[in-house]
Amino acid sequence: MEELLRLEQVSYSYDHGAPALEALSVTVSAGEKIALVGENGAGKSTFLLCCNGVLAPTSGKIYWQGQPVGRDRRSLTQLRQGVGLVFQDPDAQLLAGTVEEEVSFGPMNLRLSREETAQRVDRALAAFSLEDFRSRAPQYLSGGEKKRVTLADALAMEPRLLLLDEPASSLDPGNARLLEENLERLSSQGMALMVATHDLDFAWRWAGRVLVFHGGRLERDGTPEEVFGDAELLSRCGLAQPVLMEVGRLLGMTPLPRTIEELKKEWNR
Amino acid sequence: MITGILTALALFSLLAGRIPFLPLALLSAAGGLVLALLSRHHSHGPVVIDQLAHRSALGQASTGWKALVCCLLLVMALNIRHPAAALLLGLMAAVFTILGAGVPLGEYLSLLSLPLSFLLLSGLALLWGYSTAPTGMLSVPFGGGFLTVAAEAQTRAALVTARSVGALSCLYLLALTTPLSRLVSLLRRLRMPEVLLQLMTLIYRYLFLLLELHRTMEDAAASRLGYAAFPQGVRTTGKVWGGLLFRSLHRTRQYFDAMESRCYDGRLEFLERPLPLRGRDLVWGLGLMLTGLALMVFSWR
């Protein structure tokens, strides 16, 4: 698999504070589906901000497609273009007067031509069915619509890796399902995704790889089966076993069902 | 409440001696009451203006043209020499804003009430003078002399107030139909320095977030009986504002991070779709300007 992002021994501490990230090493390859789990304050958001180059690591190195990322404008722009970040609170991200202008902010900063910008905006709006909201003010949209706009914001930069910080935290079940479909679609188009989440059932059903954070450290980096199969790890990091995994185990199924559909199929056999 | 009383007083002194006492008193009281009632919802003012501007039926009209029409109307309103003509011009702009641009009457009046009461209050300063003898249309003994309202002062105050009201409703025609982002892009085309444009955009955007944050914090405090009695209310207000400062500083960092993550490099630009000048906009604009011009020329004679 082609390597996209590599962090080597990255540490970060907010001013005068205890380290929020400690000696963290991760490699992300193209097309991966990674879930970040861990308690509040475990370092997930800080990690995402480092991956996008918003925060400069206190020590350690970041590589984008094999090239070391410095703090100069050019390599930061390259990193941020390749790595999109969707913030947890849409209001922290929305700043333009209309949805269309909002989505154009990233491409405009990349100094693309007008035509290219307009095309990218159109594609991003279409990808999240936002065409009808084009000239609406993003501030007055509903929570789910705002989230879609912020996704389109990131998508318009055409990143190879998309980071999402608790994307479903303020969504109702319908919008959360829509979000998951959108993630699935982006992933099938070859985009690597990294999602910080507290929804362990989602992590179990969706992720191909799970990173467990605890107190600023990366406690475990493995497949969902490995991570959620380790009872000691789960209790130490304040996590729990996903419901479907537990059900599958009780019923003695192999492989363990990831979705309700898989469970039903296994059950009916 | 205080607004209402002062407004009534201003209306009373403005028209004292010009119309009989009873209708005058009734009119002043009614004026004060209306303004007091209308000015109750001001904390949402900026949000209402922004929402109206986004929903406006004139939202797709060319911004440059709208701005030109409104500026010229404003100049006319300030050059009119008769209060009635100025009020008529203002009324025309108001009626057009309400019917043509689809601004609800109630909202319009409520938004107008704040600057209107301010105008009437400043009228008080123009009206009342001090003299040694009881002259003029109204006089009240005060500290050995008299506070008086002279007839010329009434004429002057009436003209100034009427012009301001006229100018105000011309300005509302622009403000209630044009979202700020459009005005900023117009100013950019007019070569306003980039740093001012960025400040306008960011301050405007974050003003709303701050207002919302403030409302949430106030609601949260009220739900814990923070405003149950006056001393508590004062204490709570202080805490809410302190918290607001802290939270907004914290959030500034978040907002900046979010901009940085999308490659912000000191230039705040968005994709703009230019709005062409349409025939119907030309028609209403010219109509308004010609009427305004006629009113102005007529008032000069």
pLDDT tens-digit series, residues B179-227: 888 898 899 889 999 899 988 888 888 888 888 888 888 888 888 888 8
Cα A232 from chain centroid? 26
What's chain B's Rg over C-alpha atoms?
Answer: 23
Pair B103, B239 in one domain = no
Check: CB of residue A90 under 8 Å from CB of residue A146.
yes
Q: Does A217 touch chain B (CB under 8 A)?
A: no
Binary contact (A54, B270; C-beta < 8 A): no
In terms of DSSP bridges, do strands A33-37 and A192-196 run parallel, antiparallel, or are they unpaired?
parallel
Q: Look at residue A176 and tell me if it is in a domain.
A: yes
- pLDDT for B167 equals 94
pLDDT of amino acid B70 = 94
pLDDT digit string (tens) for B242-271? 988 888 888 888 888 999 898 888 888 888
Instruction: Check if A14 contacts B (Cβ < 8 Å).
Output: no
Residue A136 maps to a domain: no
Q: Is the pLDDT of residue B116 over 90?
A: no
Q: What is the pLDDT of residue A130?
A: 92
Question: What gap in Å lies between CA A153 and CA A102, rounded to an integer?
Answer: 7
pLDDT at B272 (0 to 100): 82
* Order of strands, sheet of B138-142, starting from the edge strand that comes earlier in the sequence: B128-131, B145-149, B138-142
Judge if B54 and B166 occupy the same domain: yes
Same domain, B171 and B253: no
φ/ψ (deg, to 5) at A210: -125, 130
- pLDDT for A118-172, tens place per residue? 999 999 999 898 999 988 889 889 988 999 999 999 999 999 999 999 998 888 8
Kindly report the pTM of this predicted structure.
Answer: 0.81
What is the nearest CA distance from B111 to chain A, expressed in angstroms?
Answer: 20
Residues A162 and A253 in one domain: no
Same domain for A193 and A259?
no
- Read off the pLDDT of each residue in A43-59 and give the average, rounded to a whole number: 92
Asked if the Cβ–Cβ distance from A80 to B262 is below 8 Å, we say: yes
- What span, in angstroms and rounded, lies between the C-alpha atoms of A106 and B249? 24
Task: Provide, as residue numbers in chain A, all residues whose Cβ is less than 8 Å from the Cβ of B254.
Answer: 87, 89, 92
B279/B62 Cα distance (integer angstroms): 11
| Cβ contact A101–B272 (<8 Å) | yes
Q: Testing the interface with B: which of A14, A98, A103 to mutate, by most B Cβ within 10 A? A: A98
Prior bond of A255 cis (ω within 30°): yes
* Number of domains composing chain B: 2
Cα–Cα distances in Å, from B112 out to A155, B47, B74, B94?
A: 43, 15, 16, 10
Smallest Cα–Cα separation from B39: which of B110, B106, B104, B91? B110
Residue B42: which pLDDT band, with cuts at 50, 70 and 90? low
CB A128 within 8 A of CB A102: no
Domain that holds residue B89: 2-178+275-300
Q: Is A27 helix (H, G, I), strand (E, B) or coil?
A: strand
Mean pLDDT within B271-296: 89
ipTM of the prediction: 0.82
A75 lies in which domain range?
A: 3-94+158-238
Say yes or no: B17 and B140 in one domain. Answer: yes
- On chain B, the residues whose CB falls within 8 A of the CB of A116 are none
Q: Say whether residue A127 is in contact with chain B using an 8 A CB cutoff.
A: no
A97: nearest CB among B179, B202, B261: B179
- Average model confidence (pLDDT) across chain A: 91
Residues A72 and A10 both lie in one domain: yes
Give the number of C-alpha atoms closer than 13 A to the C-alpha of residue A149, restricted to the C-beta side. 32
**Segments of chain B assigned E as strands:** 128-131, 138-142, 145-149
B75-78: long-range contacts at Cβ-Cβ below 8 A with a sequence spacing of 24 or more?
B76/B289, B76/B292, B76/B293, B76/B295, B76/B296, B77/B163, B77/B166, B77/B167, B77/B170, B77/B292, B78/B163, B78/B167
Q: Is A123 domain-assigned?
A: no
Residue of B nearest to A158 (CA): B262
Choose the mutation target among B207, B251, B262, B265 for the interface with A, i.e. most A CBs under 10 Å: B262
Q: Which of A97, A104, A110 is closest, CB to CB, to B180?
A: A97
- Helix pair angle (B63-79, B180-189), 10° resolution: 90
Give a yes or no: residue B45 inside a domain: yes
Taking any CB pair shorter than 8 Å as contact, residues of chain B touching chain A are 50-51, 54, 59, 179-182, 201-202, 205, 208-209, 251, 254-255, 257-265, 267-273
Q: How confident is the model at residue B88 (pLDDT cuts 50, 70, 90)?
A: very high
Please tell me whether residues B119 and B49 are part of one structural domain. Answer: yes
In a domain, B157, yes or no: yes
Residues of B whose CB is below 8 A from A123: none
For residues A13 and A87, state if they share a domain: yes
- Does B258 contact A91 at a Cβ distance shorter than 8 Å? no
Question: Over 70: is that where the pLDDT of B43 sits?
Answer: no
Contacts of A92 in chain B (CB under 8 A): 251, 254-255, 257-258
**Distance (Å) from the C-alpha of residue B26 to the closest C-alpha of chain A?**
43
Q: Could you tell me if residue A22 is inside a domain? A: yes
Average pLDDT, chain B: 87
B41 has a pLDDT exceeding 80: no
CA distances from B247 to A161, B225, B295 (A): 31, 22, 52
Q: What percent of chain A has pLDDT over 70?
A: 100
What does the block give as tokens for A60? 């350690």
Asked whether residue B140 is assigned to any structural domain, the reply reads: yes
- Domain match, A191 and A264 both: no
Q: Indicate if A83 and A170 belong to the same structural domain.
A: yes
For residues B153-175, average pLDDT? 91
Q: Smallest CA–CA separation between A244 and chain B, in Å?
A: 36
- Chain A residue whose CA is closest to B184: A97
Is the CB of residue A50 less than 8 Å from the CB of residue A12? yes
Q: Is B270 part of a structural domain of the chain? A: no
| Inter-chain CB pairs, A–B, below 8 Å | 93
Tokens (6 digits) for A51: 């991956």
Question: Within 13 Å and on the Cβ side, how many CA atoms surround B291?
Answer: 18
Q: Quick one: B174 and B191 in the same domain?
A: no
Rounded (5°) CA angle B269-B270-B273: 135
pLDDT at position B74 is: 94
Count of structural domains, chain A:
2
CATH of the domain at A37: 3.40.50.300
Residues 42-61 of A with CB under 8 A from B: 49, 52-55
C-alpha A257/C-alpha A267 separation (Å) is 10
pLDDT at B115: 87
Question: Does residue A77 sit in the same domain as residue A184?
Answer: yes
The pair of structure tokens assigned to A211 is 């990173």
Are residues A64 and A4 in contact, defined by beta-carbon separation less than 8 angstroms?
A: yes
